[in-house]
Amino acid sequence: MNKKTLLLNIIFMLASLFGFSQKDQGYTRLDVKMFKEKMNAKKSKIILDVRTPQEYQKAHIKKATLINFYDPGFKSKLAKLDKDKTYFVYCASGMRSKKAAKALSKLGIENIYELKGGFNAWQRAH
């Protein structure tokens, strides 16, 4: 491995460790700080909570729209969303939101941000 390749690998690893954005299969994963900054900077956005109604009722990000990942009509509900909007997607830990972000991307939506670590990370940071 040459010095340039080694340096690029080190930079990528450090960026991952410190939570900088990561482009992943059509959407961008962001840590809590970057997610909040991007979310606050966008005027036209949809905050999408893909947890269950019970999880949502306990606590959620202000102005979040709930679309239950486990709902049998989940994918058809996603298909009805405006493709021109910017979406900020989260679940409890990041597993469901990753899948939801991939599904949104497959529908042709281009502006998707997924919260790394989910709502659990959000709560730890606040």
Torsion, Cα 109 111 117 119, to 10 degrees, reads -90
What domains appear along the chain, each with residue ranges and CATH number?
20-125 (3.40.250.10)
Per-residue pLDDT of the chain (126 residues; tens, 9 = 90+): 666 665 555 555 555 444 444 555 789 999 999 999 999 999 889 999 999 999 999 999 999 999 999 999 999 999 999 999 999 999 999 999 999 999 999 999 999 999 999 999 999 998
**Strand locations in 1-126 (E):** 22-24, 27-30, 45-49, 65-66, 86-90, 112-115
Place of tokens 């109604």: 53
Do 61 and 32 meet the contact criterion of CB atoms below 8 Å apart? no
Q: How far apart are CA 20 and CA 35, in angstroms?
A: 10
